[in-house]
Amino acid sequence: MAWRWRLISFLLWLPSFWNDWNEPCRRHLLNQDSKEAFSIASKQYRTAFHFQPPQNWINGFPASLILLSTVSYYQQNQIGPMLYNGIYHLFYQYNPYSAKWGNITWGHSISTDLINWTPLDIALRPSEPFDLQGCWSGSATILPGNKPVILYTGISESGHNVQNIALPKNISDPFLLEWVKPPYNPVMVAEGVKPTQFRDPSTCWLGKDGLWRTTVGAEDFEKKAKALLYRSKDFVKWTRAEQPLFSTDSSSMIECIDFFPVSAKWKRGLDGSTIEAEDVKHVLKMGVFDNSHDYYLIGKYLEELDEFIPENVVEDDHRMWLRYDYGSFYASKTFFDAENRRRVLWAWSNESDTISDDIVKGWAGVQTVPRTIWLDENGKQLVQWPVRELESLRMEKVELKDVKVSKGGLIEIKGVKASQADIEVEFEFPELKKAELIYHDWKLDDAQMACDEMCSSVPGSIGPFGLLVLASHDLEEHTAIFFRVFKTSTAHAVLMCSDQRKYVIDHSVVESFGAGGRTCITARVYPKLLLTGDTHIYVFNNGSETVKITKLKAWEMAKARIN
Ligand code: DQQ
CATH of the domain at 502: 2.60.120.560
Do 274 and 398 lie in one domain? The reply is: no
Q: Ligand 1 test: best mutation among 56, 57, 61, 77, most atoms within 8 Å of CB?
A: 77
Residue 508 class from Cβ within 10 Å (0-12 exposed, 13-18 middle, 19+ buried)? buried
**Rounded to the nearest whole angstrom, what is the distance from the C-alpha of residue 60 to the centroid of ligand 1?**
8
- Index of the ligand 1 atom closest to the CA of residue 348: 11
CA distances from 346 to 80, 287, 331, 557, 563 (A): 9, 13, 9, 20, 17
At 66 the pLDDT is 46
- What's the mean pLDDT in 300-309? 94
536-541 and 410-412 beta bridge pairing: antiparallel
pLDDT tier at 529, thresholds 50, 70, 90: confident
Phi/psi of residue 515, each to 5°? 50, 50
3-class state of residue 499 by DSSP: coil
In a domain, 194, yes or no: yes
**Rounded to the nearest whole angstrom, what is the distance from the C-alpha of residue 61 to the centroid of ligand 1?**
9
At 266 the pLDDT is 84
Nearest CA, atom 1, ligand 1 = 78
- Index of the ligand 1 atom closest to the CA of residue 104: 10
3-class state of residue 238 by DSSP: strand
CB of 199 closer than 6 angstroms to any ligand 1 atom: yes
Do 14 and 130 lie in one domain? The reply is: no
Q: Judge whether residue 108 has pLDDT over 70.
A: yes
- What's the mean pLDDT in 5-25? 29
Whether the Cβ atoms of residue 456 and residue 475 lie closer than 8 Å to each other: no
Residue 297 class from Cβ within 10 Å (0-12 exposed, 13-18 middle, 19+ buried)? buried
pLDDT tier at 70, thresholds 50, 70, 90: very low
pLDDT, averaged across the chain: 86
Whether the Cβ atoms of residue 548 and residue 427 lie closer than 8 Å to each other: yes
CA angle 102/108/112 to nearest 5° reads 150
Beta partners for residue 140, in sequence order? 150
Nearest CA, atom 10, ligand 1 = 136
Do 14 and 101 lie in one domain? The reply is: no
Whether the Cβ atoms of residue 177 and residue 221 lie closer than 8 Å to each other: no
CB of 93 closer than 6 angstroms to any ligand 1 atom: yes
Q: Judge whether residue 525 has pLDDT over 70.
A: yes
Find, among 484, 483, 488, the residue nearest to 438 by Cα. 488
Cβ neighbours, 10 Å, residue 196 = 14
Do 23 and 85 lie in one domain? The reply is: no
The one-letter amino acid code at 544 reads S
Do 124 and 247 lie in one domain? The reply is: yes
Q: Ligand 1 test: best mutation among 106, 255, 286, 351, most atoms within 8 Å of CB?
A: 255
At 500 the pLDDT is 40
Q: Beta strands of 101-248 (E only): which ranges?
A: 105-111, 118-124, 134-143, 147-155, 161-168, 179-180, 188-189, 193-199, 205-206, 212-220, 225-232, 238-240, 246-248
CB of 256 closer than 6 angstroms to any ligand 1 atom: yes
In a domain, 378, yes or no: no
CB of 136 closer than 6 angstroms to any ligand 1 atom: yes
At 441 the pLDDT is 59
**Rounded to the nearest whole angstrom, what is the distance from the C-alpha of residue 294 to the centroid of ligand 1?**
13
At 7 the pLDDT is 30
Do 405 and 458 lie in one domain? The reply is: yes
Whether the Cβ atoms of residue 547 and residue 400 lie closer than 8 Å to each other: no
CA gap 417, 536 in Å, rounded: 8
Cβ neighbours, 10 Å, residue 474 = 9
Do 401 and 268 lie in one domain? The reply is: no
Find, among 355, 342, 364, the residue nearest to 67 by Cα. 342
CB of 137 closer than 6 angstroms to any ligand 1 atom: yes
Here the CATH number for the domain that contains residue 202 is: 2.115.10.20
CA distances from 425 to 432, 471, 498, 542, 557 (A): 20, 18, 15, 17, 16
**Residue pLDDT, tens place only, 476-501:** 888 898 888 888 777 777 888 863 45
Split into its structural domains, the chain has a count of 2
At 454 the pLDDT is 75
The one-letter amino acid code at 12 reads L
- Index of the ligand 1 atom closest to the CA of residue 330: 11
Q: Ligand 1 test: best mutation among 125, 137, 163, most atoms within 8 Å of CB?
A: 137
Residue 102 class from Cβ within 10 Å (0-12 exposed, 13-18 middle, 19+ buried)? exposed
Contacts of residue 35, defined as CB under 8 A and 6 or more positions apart, other chains included, come to: none
CA gap 165, 272 in Å, rounded: 19
Do 139 and 200 lie in one domain? The reply is: yes
- What's the mean pLDDT in 295-316? 92
**Rounded to the nearest whole angstrom, what is the distance from the C-alpha of residue 313 to the centroid of ligand 1?**
27
CA gap 78, 95 in Å, rounded: 13
Q: Judge whether residue 464 has pLDDT over 90.
A: yes
**Rounded to the nearest whole angstrom, what is the distance from the C-alpha of residue 155 to the centroid of ligand 1?**
11
Q: Judge whether residue 105 has pLDDT over 70.
A: yes
Do 190 and 62 lie in one domain? The reply is: yes
- Index of the ligand 1 atom closest to the CA of residue 138: 8
**Rounded to the nearest whole angstrom, what is the distance from the C-alpha of residue 234 to the centroid of ligand 1?**
27
CB of 332 closer than 6 angstroms to any ligand 1 atom: no
Whether the Cβ atoms of residue 422 and residue 506 lie closer than 8 Å to each other: no
In a domain, 406, yes or no: yes
- Index of the ligand 1 atom closest to the CA of residue 137: 8
SS3 of the chain: helix, strand, coil, percent, to 5: 10, 45, 45
In a domain, 502, yes or no: yes
Q: How many residues does the chain have?
A: 563
**Rounded to the nearest whole angstrom, what is the distance from the C-alpha of residue 453 to the centroid of ligand 1?**
32
- Index of the ligand 1 atom closest to the CA of residue 287: 7
Helix (H), strand (E) at residue 263: strand 254-263
Domain range for 429: 2-28+394-557
In a domain, 46, yes or no: no
**Rounded to the nearest whole angstrom, what is the distance from the C-alpha of residue 463 to the centroid of ligand 1?**
39
pLDDT tier at 17, thresholds 50, 70, 90: very low
CB of 60 closer than 6 angstroms to any ligand 1 atom: yes
**Residue pLDDT, tens place only, 133-165:** 999 999 999 898 889 999 999 999 999 999 999
pLDDT tier at 81, thresholds 50, 70, 90: low
Do 134 and 64 lie in one domain? The reply is: yes
Find, among 67, 195, 191, the residue nearest to 140 by Cα. 67
In a domain, 41, yes or no: no
Residue 520 class from Cβ within 10 Å (0-12 exposed, 13-18 middle, 19+ buried)? buried
Q: Judge whether residue 26 has pLDDT over 90.
A: no
Q: Judge whether residue 15 has pLDDT over 70.
A: no
**Rounded to the nearest whole angstrom, what is the distance from the C-alpha of residue 523 to the centroid of ligand 1?**
21
**Residue pLDDT, tens place only, 239-285:** 999 999 999 999 999 999 999 999 988 889 999 988 767 789 999 99
**Residue pLDDT, tens place only, 429-453:** 877 888 888 765 556 556 667 777 7
**Residue pLDDT, tens place only, 312-365:** 887 889 988 999 998 999 999 999 998 899 999 999 999 988 898 899 889 999
Q: Distance from first CA to last CA of the chain, Å, rounded?
A: 50
Nearest CA, atom 9, ligand 1 = 255
Q: Judge whether residue 309 has pLDDT over 90.
A: yes
Contacts of residue 506, defined as CB under 8 A and 6 or more positions apart, other chains included, come to: 47, 48, 49, 50, 419, 420, 557
In a domain, 230, yes or no: yes
Do 124 and 62 lie in one domain? The reply is: yes
Q: Which residues of 385-402 are buried (b: 16+ CB within 10 A; e: fewer)?
A: bbbebbeebbeeebeeee
Whether the Cβ atoms of residue 156 and residue 186 lie closer than 8 Å to each other: yes
In a domain, 380, yes or no: no
Do 235 and 143 lie in one domain? The reply is: yes
- What's the mean pLDDT in 530-543? 90
